[in-house]
Structure 1
Amino acid sequence: QDDVRSIVGMVDAWRGGADIVYGVRRERTTDTFFKKNTAQAFYKLMNALGGDIVYNHADFRLMSRRTLQALMAYPERNLFLRGMVSALGYPSARVYYDRKERMAGESKYPFSKMLSFALDGITSFSVRPLRYISMLGLLFILISLVAIAYGIVVYVEGNTIPGWTSLLVSVWFIGGTILMALGIIGEYVGKIYKEVKRRPRYFVEQTTGMQEPHD
């Protein structure tokens, strides 16, 4: 389905100094309405969560030798290549092409696999969902404080049902406290997660002024 003629443009971009050349679809006219919109939602969600992936790019790309060697320096086993290649940081370019309709067979990515792929991508490149738990817990605590103030007002006015205020406040406050505690634990888990991956912190693109060591 990918246009092999666009490889010529990829090679030209590589000769022009790009170490990574992404093959990017101009549009998704060959996809169904459901697949088109779920794919767009996936790209937007990944970028919102901190995963710098190229929109409408799958796995059709050209990579130089040094980018492949850099990619091999990643020791992890859960390989989300679309995010990992972008994270290498080498000069890149894009070549746009039109993807043809499938001539035979069926897509190997039904909804279940697409969902699994999206979860792998999110969990491989972002700890923000753990951070959102803390934010949600803080929101619940703020709501409980508002509920406390509201409960005091209606209690003074004598418009309360016995036990209603204490139940409302306790549910919101305890729930928010639990979520905050989970979020704090999640922050530590996220740091452990990043350390376990042992990804290289940087790659040297080029060196200048190097001298040969003396005997």
Structure 2
Amino acid sequence: MNNSQPLLALVVPCYNEQEVILESLSALRALLKTMMSQKQISSNSYIVLVDDGSTDNTYSLLQTRRDKNTRIIKLAHNVGHQAALLAGLHYVTDKVDCCISIDADLQDDIEVMSEMVRHFCNGKQIVYGVRSNRDSDTLFKKGTASLFYQLMQQMGVPIIDNHADFRLVSNTVLKEFSKYKEVNLFLRGIFPQMGYPSSSVTYSRKKRNGGESKYPLWKMMKLAANGITSFTNYPLKIITNVGMIVFAGSLLAALWVVYVVIADKNVPGWASITLPIYFLGGIQLLSLGIIGEYISRIYLETKQRPFYHIEEIVE
């Protein structure tokens, strides 16, 4: 394949995007046409739209607008953003020089794709799209996002600040990525961990033109938990350390009890009994919950079920 005019695929997961999908598809096609005319990419480059079991008219709308530079993958049921993106990445492996993944709402700036391709032609195997600011987010979303990235990095998870799933990856990376079989996917951590030459481009994220976010707070929390448990056993170490601290505190408390008995300073009271019980009970339940999260992920990994089921591919 020719890196001077690389064959590029745009991988776009879609779930209930009927309000924006036609506008997004038109914008992506116009961009591809411009990049082709400027000899930045091969004229055979194309868009892969992965319908993640949409329950609205997304798939039927896509069918009415398909052309020779568009592929549509319809999944049999909703499997989630990461697995739908995975289906697209698997599809383009060994068919392109590189691919760029982007969400269907196009809040990420498609104009930086040309810069991503230039980085690839200069030898970079992964190019991350990184937000330069979070002005389009609410104050709450800014705070939780900042906490998310800080928490991940503190626990040793390889993650790029303010980067989601807007990235370019080469076919070399795609082939190596196909070796990953783990069920608990956290793509934002897997690609940085692979260690290939990488760079980043910055952009300002836009507001959503229609529809609703597919990553509300509870999904972000689930994604964070998945990332932590997939890449580090740090929470288990915290449990061990807390246990040691509580044990040491118990020894000190025992010495204090001996002292007050000998000194005849014992004062009866419910607080000295109930508070330690609630405290230790809370720690035990929290510890069991964290251990349970790891066990549940081991359970899912051992079943080795497929990530997705493809109902139809329209080429």
Paired AA for residue 27 in structure 1: N
Aligned to 2:225: 119
Cα deviation, residue 171, structure 1: 6.1
Question: Is 1:73 matched with 2:165?
Answer: no
For 2:266 and 2:156, how far apart are their aligned partners in 1?
Answer: 46
Structure 1 length normalisation: TM-score?
0.76
For 1:9 and 1:79, how far apart are their aligned partners in 2?
Answer: 28
Paired AA for residue 33 in structure 1: L
2:119 to 7, 13, 17: 13
Cα deviation, residue 148, structure 1: 1.8
Bigger share in helix: 1
Structure 2 length normalisation: TM-score?
0.53
Aligned to 1:89: 195
Aligned to 1:3: 109
Aligned to 1:150: 256
Cα deviation, residue 149, structure 1: 2.0
Question: Is 1:43 matched with 2:149?
Answer: yes
- Residue 118 of structure 2 aligns to a residue whose secondary structure is helix
1:138 to 235, 241, 244: 244
Cα deviation, residue 42, structure 1: 0.6
> Gaps (5+ residues) in structure 2?
1-106, 303-315
> Gaps (5+ residues) in structure 1?
197-215
Paired AA for residue 137 in structure 1: G
Aligned to 1:204: none
1:63 to 144, 169, 174: 169
Question: Is 1:29 matched with 2:135?
Answer: yes
Query: How many percent identity over aligned positions?
Result: 47
Paired AA for residue 246 in structure 2: F
1:108 to 203, 206, 214: 214
For 2:259 and 2:113, how far apart are their aligned partners in 1?
Answer: 71
The number of equivalent residue pairs is 193
Cα deviation, residue 79, structure 1: 1.1
Task: Give 4+ residue runs of structure 1 displaced > 3 Å after superposition.
Answer: 161-164
- Residue 166 of structure 2 aligns to a residue whose secondary structure is strand
For 1:167 and 1:59, how far apart are their aligned partners in 2?
Answer: 51
For 1:30 and 1:163, how far apart are their aligned partners in 2?
Answer: 54
For 1:60 and 1:163, how far apart are their aligned partners in 2?
Answer: 59
The CA RMSD over aligned residues, in Å, is 3.6
- Residue 246 of structure 2 aligns to a residue whose secondary structure is helix
Matches within 5 A, 1:189-200: none
Cα deviation, residue 161, structure 1: 4.2
Cα deviation, residue 111, structure 1: 1.7
Matches within 5 A, 1:174-193: none
- Residue 90 of structure 1 aligns to a residue whose secondary structure is coil
Paired AA for residue 119 in structure 1: A
